[in-house]
Amino acid sequence: MRFEVTHVLDAIERHLTTEFALAQAVVDLGHVAWYDALDGGRPVSLLRAGLLVDAMSRHLGEDAVMVYAVASRDLLTDADLTSKERMVLGRWAGDGMIEVVPVMADRVPEVADITGLPVITMDGFPGLERRYPWLRGQPERVLQLVPAEGGARILGGHPAPASPDGHGAALLSRVWRCPRRDCPTFGDRRATTQAVPRMRAAVPMCPRHDEPLVNSGVRPPSVTMVLIVDGVVRDRFVVRAGRPIIVGRSPDEPDGLMIGAYLGGNAAQMISRNHVRLDLRDEGLFVGDLSTNGTVVRARSAPYSSPDEVHLSGGAPYLLKPWDAVELHNGVVLARADRMPNTSVGGYGSVMGDAPTIAMRPQV
Ligand SMILES: [Zn+2]
Distance 197 CA to ligand 1 centre (A): 10
Distance 173 CA to ligand 1 centre (A): 19
Distance 49 CA to ligand 1 centre (A): 25
Region 89-105 average pLDDT: 96
pLDDT of residue 245: 97
CA distance 102 to 250: 41
Q: Who wins on pLDDT, 305 or 177?
A: 177
Q: Is residue 68's pLDDT more than 60?
A: yes
Distance 237 CA to ligand 1 centre (A): 24
Distance 245 CA to ligand 1 centre (A): 29
Distance 101 CA to ligand 1 centre (A): 10
Distance 26 CA to ligand 1 centre (A): 19
Region 101-110 average pLDDT: 96
pLDDT of residue 247: 98
Neighbour order of strands in the sheet with 67-72: 99-101, 67-72, 25-28, 119-121, 142-148, 151-155
pLDDT of residue 343: 59
Distance 21 CA to ligand 1 centre (A): 20
Residue 186 CB-density burial (10 A; 0-12 exposed, 13-18 middle, 19+ buried): buried
The 10s digit of each residue's pLDDT in 258-268 is 999 999 989 99
pLDDT band at 138 (very low <50, low <70, confident <90, very high): confident
CA 13 to chain CA centroid, Å, is 11
**Amino acid in the structure at residue 153:** R
Distance 182 CA to ligand 1 centre (A): 8
pLDDT band at 358 (very low <50, low <70, confident <90, very high): very low
Distance 33 CA to ligand 1 centre (A): 24
Distance 225 CA to ligand 1 centre (A): 28
pLDDT of residue 1: 42
Distance 95 CA to ligand 1 centre (A): 12
Handedness of CA 219, 223, 227, 231 (dihedral sign): positive
Of 172, 248, 241, nearest to 213 (Cα)? Answer: 172
CA distance 198 to 213: 9
Q: Is residue 342's pLDDT more than 70?
A: no
CA distance 130 to 315: 54
Distance 52 CA to ligand 1 centre (A): 27
Q: Who wins on pLDDT, 278 or 160?
A: 278
Distance 297 CA to ligand 1 centre (A): 42
Of 288, 286, 292, 287, nearest to 273 (Cα)? Answer: 292
User: Which segment of 14-28, 114-128, 157-171, 286-300 scores lowest on mean pLDDT?
Assistant: 157-171
pLDDT of residue 3: 63
Percent of the chain beyond pLDDT 70? 94
Mean per-residue pLDDT over the chain, rounded:
91
180 in the Ramachandran plot: left (φ > 0), alpha (ψ -120 to 50) or beta?
Answer: beta
- Write out the chain in H/E/C secondary structure: CCCCHHHHHHHHHCCECCCCCCCCEEEEHHHHHCCHHHCCCCCCCCCHHHHHHHHHHHHHCECCCCEEEEEEHHHHCCCCCCHHHHHHHHHHHHCCCCEEECCCCCHHHHHHHHHCCCEEECCCCCCCCCCCHHHCCCCCCEEEEEEECCEEEEECCCCCCCCCCHHHHHHHCEEEECCCCCCCCCCHHHCCCCCCCEEECCEEECCCCCCECEEEEECCCEEEEEEEECCEEEEEEEEECCECEEEECCCCCCCCEECHHHCCHHHHHHCCCCCEEEEEECCEEEEEECCCCCEEEEECCCCCCCCEEEEECCCCCEECCCCCEEEEECCEEEEEHHHCCCCCCCCCCCCCCCCCHHHHCCCC
Distance 210 CA to ligand 1 centre (A): 7
pLDDT of residue 23: 96
Of 115, 121, 112, nearest to 28 (Cα)? Answer: 121
CA distance 225 to 279: 12
User: Which segment of 207-211, 286-290, 351-355 scores lowest on mean pLDDT?
Assistant: 351-355
pLDDT of residue 346: 53
pLDDT of residue 79: 96
User: Which segment of 10-19, 49-58, 185-194, 333-342 scores lowest on mean pLDDT?
Assistant: 185-194
Global pTM reads 0.92
Other Cβ atoms less than 10 A from the Cβ of 36: the count is 15
Q: Is residue 357's pLDDT more than 60?
A: no
Q: Who wins on pLDDT, 144 or 305?
A: 144
Distance 76 CA to ligand 1 centre (A): 17
Distance 332 CA to ligand 1 centre (A): 39
Distance 94 CA to ligand 1 centre (A): 11
Distance 331 CA to ligand 1 centre (A): 42
Of 51, 64, 77, 6, nearest to 347 (Cα)? Answer: 64
